[in-house]
Amino acid sequence: MEVLFKAVKNALFLLFTFDRDVYEIIFLTIKVCLTSTIISAVLGITTAYLVSVKKTRQSSLLITSINTGMAIPPVLAGLIITVIFWRSGIFGHFEILYTPLAMIIAQVLIAYPVVTAISLSAINSLPEKFIIQMIGLGANKIQLFFVVIRELKGQIFCAIVAGFGSVISEVGASMMVGGNIKGYTRVITTATVTETSRGNLELAFAYGIILLLMTFVINLLFVRFQQRKK
Amino acid sequence: MKIISVSALRFFSGKRHVLNIDELSIYKGERVCVIGENGAGKTSLILAMSGLLNFEEGDIFFYDKKIGKDISKSHYLKRIAIVFQDPLLVNDSVYNNIAMVLRFRKISNNQIKERVNNVLSRLKIEHLLNRNVNSLSGGEAQRVNLARAIVLEPEILFMDEPFSAIDSSYKDNLISDLSEIIREKNITLILSTHDRYEAFRICERFIVLEKGQIVSDTDQELLLSSPCNEFSASFIGYETILNGIVESCEEGTYIAKVGNNKIFGVGEFKGGDRLIICINPENVALSVKPIKEDSSIRNCLKGVVTEINNLGYYFRVKVNCGFEIVSNITKKSFDELKIEKNSPIYVEFKAVSVHSFKK
């Protein structure tokens, strides 16, 4: 209990004294997670739309693969990216391993199936004739895409938040492909693991609390958005 | 001038023909009603003609131009509009729902405002302008849906059972307003419906579909006087539709066996012909004693009352004579005859009031 109390105190101290190391970690976390979420959102929503609208024989296989992808362990995502971008790997010549870019790619691999699966479920929940109706009223392919996304904005936003949640909380992939390099690839989750392994539980807890605070702010934004929609 | 025509249209679901239409032409300004049982292919025909169904074989022509070849599908879609039974509005204000379809056609904001206001006032829903569609009643939502189609000033308006989900009091006014706009703007209408009152108030030409094929293409007068199949007979109001086999036919009067009874009707048929026999409830009289003797009434059947419905000014009585036959009688007759459920009764109708056609 005392550790927790000191951790809260420590977290607030670090935040209000604008500790350079801590803010560096926070900003990198936000940068990496937001970038990977935005990329996952663009790819995931588009994939979900195309899978839903262009029903083919392969659709069920594709949907099953997407749903399976939702359960991909971050460590496995990290391992896949490591193998691909390893010096002797197929994209080794890009030399991006242990960079924030590699972390972003690994996180996209984690968030993309989450965003896709939830968006797909949302698009499939539209009445069967909704899309036909819009085409029948003259919507072209791009207009139709935006009408559908706009109509489902609440659920699509939920998919994006779920994607963000999956990457901000993961540690395995970031640790594996980022290398947890201080001042370069260290994010809140990897910093928490590092401080815990050093026995520095107060600071580890402080990072945990900062992570919770960030998640809280994002969820607050989500709730505000939902309320505005109503 | 032909506005839309269909040639050798075939659409399958598995091995079943959903649509099998050799030729169909619709002329500019016509108001056409497509009728048929559930599964007859009405919706598929509407979707095919509106370019929204990928069918296996056949061509659709718009002003004699083949869609997909002489005129692109997207260009064609910009000249028509479609309305379904469900309003399918987007979660936004009424104004934005209607403005959205004009934006699809890249119409300027000033024109959008003017056209939206005009259509709302024509359909008497200008007070709904800023309301969110989620707060509208079913009837109001369908008015907005119609406004969304009409504001496009389509050359062809396709409507697939658009009034099915609206209560009758609201429907009546909506049909009047819609009819007026369609006539005034000379919009070609292709409507599918199960309701004869809707159809007769709006349309002048009737296409009867059965198992994906056109079995009748006629006007209102001919549809009413000579329904071509069981569905069109029930559509125009025949409540008693029976299957019979002709036993004999002399001087234009036939005798057909229906169950264990015999029915007299008029028409030239041969012995053994299988008939659909339709009897209008208004033409069926009920009596406690048989009155066939010394009268021109050819048909007198004994039965038992199985169902009584009070319809306000008159009663609808269903009688089982081995088959069920429906009679509409006045309240006064009902009271005088002291009709009760399960009471025996005689059913009588003239041979000339029976409409029959070969199955």
Q: Complex ipTM, two decimals?
A: 0.80
Identify whether A212 is part of a domain: no
Identify whether A132 is part of a domain: yes
Residues of chain A contacting residue B84, judged by C-beta atoms under 8 Å apart: 129, 132-133
Name the residue with higher pLDDT: A2 or B273.
B273
Amino acid code (one letter) for B8? A
DSSP calls for B295-310: SS--EEEEEEEEEEEE
Residues of B within an 8 Å Cβ radius of A = 47, 50, 52, 74, 77-78, 80-82, 84, 86, 88, 90-91, 100-101, 103-105, 148-149, 152, 158
Mean pLDDT score, B27-52: 94
pLDDT tens readout for residues A19-69: 888 889 989 999 999 999 999 999 999 999 999 988 777 888 888 999 999
C-beta neighbour count of B92 within 10 angstroms: 15
Q: Give the chain B residue nearest A147 (alpha carbons).
A: B90
pLDDT tens readout for residues B302-312: 999 999 999 98
Q: Radius of gyration of chain A from Cα atoms?
A: 20
pLDDT tens readout for residues B239-255: 899 999 999 999 899 99
Calpha distance A46→B195 (Å, rounded): 42
Q: Radius of gyration of chain B from Cα atoms?
A: 25
Degrees to nearest 5, angle at CA B5 with B4 and B9? 135
Could A132 and B81 be called an inter-chain contact, meaning their C-beta atoms sit closer than 8 Å?
no
Compare CB distances from B91 to A135, A137, A151 and report the shortest one's residue. Answer: A151
Identify whether A125 is part of a domain: yes
pLDDT of B168 over the 90 cut: no
Identify whether A130 is part of a domain: yes
- Reported as a pLDDT band with limits 50, 70 and 90, residue A176 is very high
Q: Please state the domain count of chain A.
A: 1
- Reported as a pLDDT band with limits 50, 70 and 90, residue A226 is low
Identify whether A10 is part of a domain: no
Quote the pLDDT of residue A229.
56
| Residue A136: CATH number of its domain | 1.10.3720.10
| Owning domain of residue A35 | 16-199
pLDDT tens readout for residues A78-130: 999 999 999 888 998 999 999 999 999 999 999 999 999 999 999 999 998 99
Compare CB distances from B101 to A138, A140, A150 and report the shortest one's residue. Answer: A138
Residues of chain B contacting residue A151, judged by C-beta atoms under 8 Å apart: 90-91
Q: What b-and-e string marks burial along B111-133, b requiring 16 or more CB atoms within 10 Å of the CB?
A: ebeebbeebbebbebeebeeeeb
Calpha distance B196→B194 (Å, rounded): 6
Provide the percentage of residues in chain A whose pLDDT is more than 70.
98
Identify whether A109 is part of a domain: yes
Amino acid code (one letter) for B279? I
Could B50 and A151 be called an inter-chain contact, meaning their C-beta atoms sit closer than 8 Å?
no
Compare CB distances from A133 to B80, B82, B105 and report the shortest one's residue. Answer: B82
Quote the pLDDT of residue B312.
87
Mutate one of B46, B50, B76, B82 to test the A interface: name it (highest A CB count within 10 A).
B82
> Could you report how far apart the first and last alpha carbons of chain A are, in Å?
41
Tokens of A219: 């969820």
Residues of chain B contacting residue A143, judged by C-beta atoms under 8 Å apart: 103-104
Identify whether A123 is part of a domain: yes
3-state secondary structure of B262: strand
Identify whether A175 is part of a domain: yes
